[in-house]
């Protein structure tokens, strides 16, 4: 790790979104608490962060999101019941998922002003140190946790990093796209960032996948509260300024697994199938059931 590089200890999770695409399911249940197999989406993302060595989990919540805070807290009645019924395996699994005392922080985003605003809301908890940012809608399913690869790249290079993955050329206008020095490299310098470029103008087919490592100077830029696309405070706008005006280096880390957008119904359903097929206790019966349904 370069001598001037601070270790990544904290991760921010923006979980204030309304989840309108999943109504009526999300009328009373936050979209982040919808389950992929038997674990909430947000738990899968926290698992990724923990596997990468993150020590402090910062959740940016909103109204009606109290159940997320409850999920990452002890539930004495449930734990006592499991203990009394000698369900040791289930109790141990619950306790293993809990952050230790003081490892989870929650702050409110009072109005839906965009991803950039949500990140800015975590500024006092993150403080003057680099941090990871994980969008909970995007599940990164692969042999190695995406954030673990990113932290290894950060320890070698420092600066800012963004996870990317290829998309078909005719879909680049739907995503934030980066231009890089080498489109085939696992880690490559970023030369430009464009939010949803017009068809045929994208600098590459590598889209931003919802995993970031950012330096704390991003907060000063977000504090200016400039609205961008959709009338919201966009994170990409401040990252572009961090790269162009402050000359901070940005690198793209290519993710080689599969990404499931659990903010869409199709992505959520596909994630459930993929994660279930990874489970030895479920996979054989699920394959048989899928075969039966397809016939």
- The answer to whether residue 3 is domain-embedded is no
- The answer to whether residue 1 is domain-embedded is no
Give how many domains the chain has, as a whole number: 1
The CATH number of whichever domain residue 208 belongs to comes to 3.90.550.10
CA angle 36/9/16 to nearest 5° reads 45
Query: Who wins on pLDDT, 26 or 154?
Result: 154
In this prediction, residues 82-102 reach a mean pLDDT of 85
**48 pLDDT tier (thresholds 50, 70, 90):** very high
| Helix and strand numbers, DSSP H then E, in the chain | 11, 13
In this prediction, residues 205-224 reach a mean pLDDT of 94
- pLDDT tens digit sequence for 61-75: 988 888 998 988 888
**4 pLDDT tier (thresholds 50, 70, 90):** low
| pLDDT at residue 26, rounded to an integer | 87
- The answer to whether residue 222 is domain-embedded is yes
Query: Who wins on pLDDT, 138 or 27?
Result: 138
**231 pLDDT tier (thresholds 50, 70, 90):** low
- pLDDT tens digit sequence for 251-284: 999 999 999 999 999 999 999 999 999 999 999 9
**228 pLDDT tier (thresholds 50, 70, 90):** low
206-214 vs 250-254, strand pairing mode: unpaired
| pLDDT at residue 94, rounded to an integer | 79
- The answer to whether residue 2 is domain-embedded is no
- The answer to whether residue 101 is domain-embedded is yes
| pLDDT at residue 3, rounded to an integer | 42
Rg (CA), the chain: 20
206-214 vs 258-261, strand pairing mode: unpaired
- The answer to whether residue 265 is domain-embedded is yes
- Distance set, CA 178 to CA 119, 162, 185, 218, 234 (Å): 20, 9, 13, 18, 15
Q: Which residues have a Cβ under 8 Å from the Cβ of 77 and sit 6 or more positions away?
A: none
- The answer to whether residue 4 is domain-embedded is no
HEC readout, 151-201: HHHHHHHCCEEEEEEECCHHHHHHCEEEEECCCCCCEEEEEEEEECCCCCC
Domain that holds residue 16: 10-294
| pLDDT at residue 74, rounded to an integer | 85
């Amino acid at each position: 790790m370069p001598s001037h590089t601070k270790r990544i200890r904290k991760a921010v999770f923006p979980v204030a979104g309304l989840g309108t695409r999943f109504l009526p399911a999300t009328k009373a249940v936050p979209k982040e608490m919808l389950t992929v197999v038997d674990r909430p989406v947000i738990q899968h993302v926290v698992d990724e962060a923990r596997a990468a060595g993150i020590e402090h989990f910062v959740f940016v919540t909103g109204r009606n999101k109290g159940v997320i805070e409850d999920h990452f807290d002890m539930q004495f009645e449930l734990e006592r019941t499991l203990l009394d019924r000698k369900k040791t395996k289930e109790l141990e699994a619950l306790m293993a998922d809990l952050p230790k005392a003081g490892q989870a922080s929650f702050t409110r985003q009072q109005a839906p002003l965009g991803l950039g605003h949500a990140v800015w809301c975590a500024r006092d908890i993150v403080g003057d140190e680099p941090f990871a940012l994980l969008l909970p809608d995007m599940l990164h399913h692969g042999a190695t946790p995406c954030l673990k690869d990113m932290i290894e790249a950060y320890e070698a290079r420092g600066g800012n990093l963004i996870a990317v993955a290829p998309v078909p050329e005719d879909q680049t206008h739907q995503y934030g796209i980066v231009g890089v020095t080498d489109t085939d490299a696992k880690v490559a310098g970023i030369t430009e960032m464009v939010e949803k470029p017009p068809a045929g103008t994208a600098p590459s087919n590598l889209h931003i996948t919802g995993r970031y490592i950012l330096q704390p100077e991003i907060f000063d830029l977000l504090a200016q509260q400039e609205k961008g696309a959709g009338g919201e405070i966009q994170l990409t706008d401040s990252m572009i300024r961090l790269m162009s005006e402050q000359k901070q280096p940005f690198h793209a880390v290519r993710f080689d697994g599969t990404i499931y957008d659990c903010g869409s119904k199709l992505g959520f359903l596909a994630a459930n199938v993929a994660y279930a097929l990874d489970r030895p206790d479920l996979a054989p019966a699920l394959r048989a059931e899928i075969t039966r349904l397809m016939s």
